[in-house]
Amino acid sequence: MRSPKKILEWLETHWVTPAYSGGLLGGLSIFFFVAATNTLSGWLYVMSGVGLALLAIAAILPERTLRQVSVRRAPIHPVSAGDQITVELIVENQSSKTKTLLQVEDLLPAALGKPVIHSIEEIAPNRPHHWIYSQLVEKRGIYRWQTVHLRTAAPLGLFWCRRPRIAKAIAIVYPTVLPLTHCPLIDEMGRDQSLLLNSDRRAQTASEGLTRSLRPYRWGDPIRMVHWRTSARYGELRVRELETFTGGQELVICLDSAFDWLPDADPTQNDFEQAVIAAASLYFYACRQSLQVQLWTAGTGLIQGNQAVLETLAETRSGESIQVSSLPTSPFLWLTQNPDSLNILPPGSRWILWQAIANLNPTTSQNLTVQRNPGILVQPDQSLQMQLQLPATR
């Protein structure tokens, strides 16, 4: 059986519900009608009739007010966790009459907070009304919602009428990227395994070699790369692009998202969230070092590109279904909470291990000392940024 509150909400979205003043006027009108029936007084019939007529008109007009009022939404620009998203709604009056006294309610997902309500005094005919508000987002993720409620009691304020509008929204909240000044873990892998990375670095600093093409000079290009003879011919500076000789392997950062990470003993800590932050920070550190780096998750496999990586890390979840059959066969950087998975890493790999499981097994620390690949054992009482800048240990 439906509760009275749900019945009123259903009536408001499908027809109208009386406001306090409407209920009071309805009660008085019925009282006057009963009194007129008992006393046969004409003036009581008149008062009762006027009250009922006002109620009938007030029940029709709010629904008409909401007609030809549309809602659309501007794109929401991605932000990082801890920042504010900016939401812009355009409420447009598509009729030839002025719309007054509207209430707009944006139904945000529960993870973002409570619904946000905005009042509009007046919208001119065939004119839009822009409503912009900010919402703090503390957790990464991809948030989707679409329902906006238009509500009004105009013009008499006796009945409330509410109608939903569809305005789809997607808010992408990236994980935090820590500003790493150095990272021995990445630097060692970059030196150890990739001829491609070394050839890229040589191409950036070389002034001689096989020229691939000539292009117009851009601000910041080294003067040594200017091809003076061609520049004199065209009357503008032209810069040489040297051929890059490739070979070897790429640096891959792998996040163990298929494993069902256990919660940390401290409720304010979340190991998987820290691993996502570490993956994003290490990826962009490697990019700043001019390394060719890719990200691997169980749900997406190998991906690259700043935006693709950030969107993947924003959406990934612990214990997600495996869409990729196997890990890369070349050495990679492994971020996990499962110490048993360290035994399957290829030679030359590195690892970062969170300790929620390690603390439950007294022999885990001893097993880690015999690992053939060095790594970092994350300490929960220390800064993650500081630990990512420490050298790997065996």
* Whether the Cβ atoms of residue 254 and residue 327 lie closer than 8 Å to each other: yes
- Shared domain for 223 and 338, answered yes or no, is no
Neighbours of 177 (CB within 10 A): 18
Total number of domains constituting the chain:
3
145: left (phi over 0), alpha (psi -120 to 50) or beta: beta
- Shared domain for 350 and 230, answered yes or no, is no
Three-state secondary structure string covering 26-86: HHHHHHHHHHHHHHCCHHHHHHHHHHHHHHHHHHHHHHHHCCCEEEEECCCCCEECCCEEE
320 lies in a domain? yes
- Shared domain for 4 and 131, answered yes or no, is yes
179 lies in a domain? no
d(CA 278, CA 393): 18
**pLDDT at residue 296, as a whole number:** 93
> What CATH number corresponds to the domain at position 129?
2.60.40.10
Residues 6 or more apart whose CB falls under 8 angstroms from that of 76 comprise 85, 86, 87, 169, 170, 171, 172
- Shared domain for 143 and 55, answered yes or no, is yes
**pLDDT at residue 290, as a whole number:** 85
- Shared domain for 160 and 230, answered yes or no, is no
- Shared domain for 233 and 271, answered yes or no, is no
- Shared domain for 318 and 292, answered yes or no, is yes
199 lies in a domain? no
**pLDDT at residue 199, as a whole number:** 44
Per DSSP, the three-state class of 384 is helix
- Shared domain for 236 and 165, answered yes or no, is no
**Which residues, given as ranges, of the chain have pLDDT below 50?**
194-209, 244-249, 358, 360, 369-370
2 lies in a domain? yes
Say which residue the tokens 């065996």 belong to. Answer: 394
Whole-prediction pTM: 0.77
Percent of the chain clearing pLDDT 70 (strictly above):
84
